[in-house]
Chain A
Amino acid sequence: MSTATLAPSSRLSGLFAPARVQATVIQIATVVMFLLACVSIDNFASAANLSSILYAASTVGIAAVGLASVTISGNLFALSLGATAAFSSIVFIMASGLGVWPALAASLLLGVAFGALQGLVVGWLRCNAIISTIAAGSLIAGLATWVSDGRTVLAEGGPTWLGSGTIVPGVPWQAVLFAAIVIVGEVLMQRTRAGWELRLRGTNPDAAELAGLRVTRMVILSYVLAGAGAAIAGALIAAQSGTGNLRVGADLDFSAIAAMLVGGIAIGGGRGRIIDVASGTLFLAVLTNILLVNNFAYEVQLMVKGLAVLVAVTAGALLARKSR
């Protein structure tokens, strides 16, 4: 091949390569915004406020990490996360008499089962991903209503360590769980064969098929992870409030998609890392919290969140064009 010269690529230039620049910018912006808020807003850095940021981030973030496996593998979005979380919150509360771990396991099982179902429909029967998950969402919501009679179920005992416990003041156990899931997810995605296959499938489904990769299995796996993520999110919300009902996770679908896209996961698949999901989640959680403590109304928060997604998607599109 011809002797094209290559500039020595430093670690820094890698961070700002077209494929990574959005993720890097969001990471920096999150830190800067957080620090500015700490010095300029009274009580922002209080333990109570920090833990409220982390509670919000943990539930959305865990769902977004699961969802990211679907997006990265090239199937856009799963739109059944909210329904899964709602059903899971109900199951978690119903099983909470058995203790936190069994209740969590029951929720997880539910998420995995519904995820596997959607995975089979999309991966094996090759149905349209968006339509299938919308349909699944409706089915799950229906079942959840039937099981709960449409009523809110209440936990019997008092608050548990998972619902309100902190490891140090300001850092709830839920955040520890979120961090653990992010780290494990990141390592699995980057270092395992399945992670590689998932990402390759996302960049080019046809080529993945012809390369003999285990595409069907990977698609099913990605929906199982999405279902599991949504179920854990639902269980955590239920643990916080001690209630399980159909409104849990009402805007989880959009919040998770927003966190993922803002963090720098490409909608088209193949690009982005699990840590990007975490930074996108934290970015939005800090931003929302700043609006909240400054007494902006819920509508404003929604608008800002929507705007952030628009900006992220636009930036992604512009970067994709620039790299041509």
Chain B
Amino acid sequence: MSAPILSARGLKKSYGGVRALRGMDIDLAEGEIHGLCGENGAGKSTLVKILGGFVMPDEGELGIGGMRVTLGTPVDPALLSIVHQELSIIPHLSVLDNVMLGAREVGALYRRGPFRAHVREVLDSVGLAHVPLDALADTLPLAERQLIEIARGIARGARVLLLDEPTATLSDGEIEKVFAVLRRLKAEKGTTIVIISHRLNEIFALTDRVTVLRSGQHVMTANTADLTNARLVEAMIGHEIHTGEIAPSHARNGVSPRLSLRGWTLPGRFAPLDLDVQPGQIVSLVGQLGSGADTLLESLVGLHPARGTLSLDGAASTPRTVAEAYAAGIAYVSEDRAKRGVFLEAPIGTNLVSQILGRVSRRGWMMPATVRARAAELARGFALDPARLPHDVSTLSGGNQQKVSLGKAAALGPRLLALNEPTRGVDIGARAEIYDQLRSLAKAEGLTILFYSTDLEEVLDASDRIVTFYRGTRVRDALRPDMDADAILHDILHGPDTPDTEAAA
């Protein structure tokens, strides 16, 4: 290997008593795509932030392009730029301004003209050709905001580009476009790219080499071609896990359906739909952006004014607000974790009970012992460290924040759980734990789960039944054993084989 473009030695970082990194070394070769893998909280984001100078390490050295850099001061964005795990889109700025945010070319006076063509080109390349430069960022769905974030990283033209879970909210079509851009950057400009992802198929599809971290330490670096899925998983979590098997369904057939939709529609978003779901069934709604699948999920908790009838266990209860939905026994987990899913600046324990305050209080007075007991119980169920309950959610790694978001909705003890991107950013060990937890709820309490996910592997791993959508209409509704990845992809990308049903949206 020639001299590495980036080389870090002995990086250490502690937050209070939490040792995020305990002496981490990494070398990046010029023009490679390097994957970073590891469990939630392994220290991946911390490492990336240190490399970019956003976090000051306690110890260590860093060289970029053969020069020692001062730790803890942001590195020149033309040399190295980062796409952070948490979105940093400014909602009331335009798409153009968001992409140019912090660019060095922008002088003291910001004249947008010269940048338009370049930004347009970058946006087109990541699949945002349909988004106008002057659109306000907060009018865009989460996936598109994520793509803008990626476009910002690309537009800098940095020699080293670090992407922290850039694909977590994207669906396969979008991911392919992003990957194509990354491959082109590598081939044409010799850009060095680091990518963090919990979706191992992405790591295999894209990277040249992989580094695995565990508990803040380097475990291994290997050529991707020499690795197998099982070896990578073992390096990450220390043991093997089995995926891809069809889990047993806990659907209770022959009883009356838990959820019934009749003529359920939101004009312009999804066409009238009838749907029956059995107690204990785990159903995934799959579709691309604009397919209406996610909107349908949100409409179940009153986030959209859908028409038609919704009955739970035979009783009509069409919720108009989230509070009504929760009272009726329908819980919801948002895909936008930081903004709507959790209270980042409040303790983990408080978050976990935040939706059941009425039950952990008596006549308006909180019952501290009950609060602690409930929080500890939920923490155990969702693989969170009970010792950290008094700490703020913001001190958790991204994946563990997601578990808080799930735990707080499950606390309601709902009859129907609507999950939007249930394991976004969760590592594969914890993901298996979460599915186990959801399945045991489905089995023991007959909890019915509907979820929307852009992660095909998750859809195949977690569901009993899969419903595919294309442009606002249902394409297929089948049990898991009758579906495979190809069938799903075909449905969501091309719609039904008979072309006449397409017009409905």
A residues with CB within 8 A of B: 1-9, 19, 191-194, 196-197, 199-200, 203-204, 206-214, 270-271, 324
Chain A neighbourhood of B216, CB < 8 A = 2, 4
A212 and B39 contact, CB distance less than 8 A: no
Q: Which residue of B lies closest to A212 (CB)?
A: B323
Supplied contacts A4-B41, A4-B216, A270-B343, 16 more A-B pairs, CB within 8 Å? A1-B40, A1-B384, A1-B385, A2-B214, A3-B215, A4-B18, A5-B17, A6-B388, A193-B358, A203-B344, A203-B346, A204-B343, A204-B344, A207-B342, A210-B334, A212-B323
Q: Which residue of A lies closest to B336 (CB)?
A: A206
Given A192-B365, A210-B340, A212-B323, are A1 and B355 neighbors across the interface (CB < 8 Å)?
no
Q: Which residue of B lies closest to A197 (CB)?
A: B357
Most interface-central of A1, A6, A191 (chain B CB within 10 A):
A1
Shortest distance between the CB of A14 and any CB in chain B (Å): 9
Chain B neighbourhood of A207, CB < 8 A = 339-343
Task: Decide if B207 is an interface residue (CB 8 Å cutoff).
Answer: no
Chain A neighbourhood of B42, CB < 8 A = 2
Task: Decide if B189 is an interface residue (CB 8 Å cutoff).
Answer: no
Chain B neighbourhood of A203, CB < 8 A = 343-346
When each residue 125-155 of chain B gets 1 if its CB lies under 8 Å from chain A and 0 otherwise, what string results?
Answer: 0000000000000000000000000000000
B364 and A270 contact, CB distance less than 8 A: no
Chain A neighbourhood of B366, CB < 8 A = 191-193, 196
A200 and B19 contact, CB distance less than 8 A: no
Shortest distance between the CB of B4 and any CB in chain A (Å): 27
A6 and B400 contact, CB distance less than 8 A: no
Most interface-central of B325, B355, B357, B358 (chain A CB within 10 A):
B357
When each residue 32-73 of chain B gets 1 if its CB lies under 8 Å from chain A and 0 otherwise, what string results?
Answer: 000000011110000000000001000000000000000000
Chain B neighbourhood of A210, CB < 8 A = 322, 332, 334, 340-341
Q: Which residue of B lies closest to A320 (CB)?
A: B345
A271 and B345 contact, CB distance less than 8 A: yes
Given A4-B215, A193-B365, are A212 and B346 neighbors across the interface (CB < 8 Å)?
no
Contact partner, A200, options B39, B40, B346, Cβ 8 Å: B346
Task: Decide if B16 is an interface residue (CB 8 Å cutoff).
Answer: yes
Shortest distance between the CB of A189 and any CB in chain B (Å): 11
Chain B neighbourhood of A197, CB < 8 A = 357
A2 and B339 contact, CB distance less than 8 A: no
Interface residues of B in 217-254 (CB under 8 A from A): none
Task: Decide if B408 is an interface residue (CB 8 Å cutoff).
Answer: yes
Task: Decide if B430 is an interface residue (CB 8 Å cutoff).
Answer: yes
B55 and A6 contact, CB distance less than 8 A: no
Chain B neighbourhood of A204, CB < 8 A = 339-340, 342-346
Shortest distance between the CB of A183 and any CB in chain B (Å): 16
A199 and B17 contact, CB distance less than 8 A: no
Task: Decide if B354 is an interface residue (CB 8 Å cutoff).
Answer: yes
Chain B neighbourhood of A2, CB < 8 A = 39-42, 214-216
Shortest distance between the CB of A178 and any CB in chain B (Å): 24
Chain A neighbourhood of B437, CB < 8 A = none
Chain B neighbourhood of A9, CB < 8 A = 16-17, 390
Task: Decide if B440 is an interface residue (CB 8 Å cutoff).
Answer: no
Interface residues of B in 380-401 (CB under 8 A from A): 383-385, 387-388, 390, 392, 397, 400
Task: Decide if B361 is an interface residue (CB 8 Å cutoff).
Answer: yes
A270 and B17 contact, CB distance less than 8 A: no
Chain A contact residues: helix, strand, loop or mixed: loop
Chain A neighbourhood of B341, CB < 8 A = 207, 210
Chain B neighbourhood of A211, CB < 8 A = 322, 354-355, 408
B residues with CB within 8 A of A: 16-20, 39-42, 55, 214-216, 321-323, 325-326, 332, 334, 339-346, 350, 354-355, 357-358, 361, 364-366, 383-385, 387-388, 390, 392, 397, 400, 403, 408, 430
A211 to B216, CA, bound (A): 33
Q: Which residue of A lies closest to B49 (CB)?
A: A324
A200 and B388 contact, CB distance less than 8 A: no
A2 to B355, CA, bound (A): 27
A105 to B332, CA, bound (A): 45
B55 and A324 contact, CB distance less than 8 A: yes
Chain B neighbourhood of A3, CB < 8 A = 215
Q: List 10 A-B contacts (CB under 8 A).
A: A1-B39, A1-B40, A1-B41, A3-B215, A5-B18, A6-B387, A203-B344, A204-B346, A211-B354, A211-B408
A200 and B383 contact, CB distance less than 8 A: no
Shortest distance between the CB of B303 and any CB in chain A (Å): 8
Chain A neighbourhood of B17, CB < 8 A = 5-9
Chain A neighbourhood of B214, CB < 8 A = 2
B350 and A200 contact, CB distance less than 8 A: yes
Chain B neighbourhood of A271, CB < 8 A = 345
Chain B neighbourhood of A212, CB < 8 A = 321-323, 325-326, 355
Given A4-B19, A7-B17, are A194 and B364 neighbors across the interface (CB < 8 Å)?
yes
A6 and B18 contact, CB distance less than 8 A: yes
A200 and B354 contact, CB distance less than 8 A: yes
A8 to B341, CA, bound (A): 29
Chain A neighbourhood of B340, CB < 8 A = 204, 206-207, 209-210
Given A1-B400, A270-B345, are A209 and B322 neighbors across the interface (CB < 8 Å)?
yes
Q: Which residue of B lies closest to A270 (CB)?
A: B345
Given A207-B340, A209-B322, A212-B322, are A196 and B350 neighbors across the interface (CB < 8 Å)?
yes
A224 to B272, CA, bound (A): 45
Top 5 A-B pairs, shortest CB-CB distance: A7-B17, A2-B41, A212-B323, A193-B361, A203-B345
A203 to B347, CA, bound (A): 11
Chain A neighbourhood of B430, CB < 8 A = 1
A200 and B326 contact, CB distance less than 8 A: no
Chain A neighbourhood of B20, CB < 8 A = 4
Shortest distance between the CB of B57 and any CB in chain A (Å): 13
Q: Which residue of A lies closest to B355 (CB)?
A: A211
Chain A neighbourhood of B325, CB < 8 A = 212
Chain B neighbourhood of A194, CB < 8 A = 364
Chain A neighbourhood of B364, CB < 8 A = 192-194
Shortest distance between the CB of B329 and any CB in chain A (Å): 12
Shortest distance between the CB of B456 and any CB in chain A (Å): 25
Chain A neighbourhood of B383, CB < 8 A = 1
A191 and B343 contact, CB distance less than 8 A: no
A213 to B350, CA, bound (A): 13
Chain B neighbourhood of A270, CB < 8 A = 343, 345-346
B384 and A199 contact, CB distance less than 8 A: no
Shortest distance between the CB of B304 and any CB in chain A (Å): 13
Shortest distance between the CB of B217 and any CB in chain A (Å): 10
Chain B neighbourhood of A7, CB < 8 A = 16-17
Most interface-central of A5, A207, A208 (chain B CB within 10 A):
A207
Q: Which residue of A lies closest to B390 (CB)?
A: A9
Shortest distance between the CB of A251 and any CB in chain B (Å): 31
A200 and B343 contact, CB distance less than 8 A: yes
A194 to B39, CA, bound (A): 37
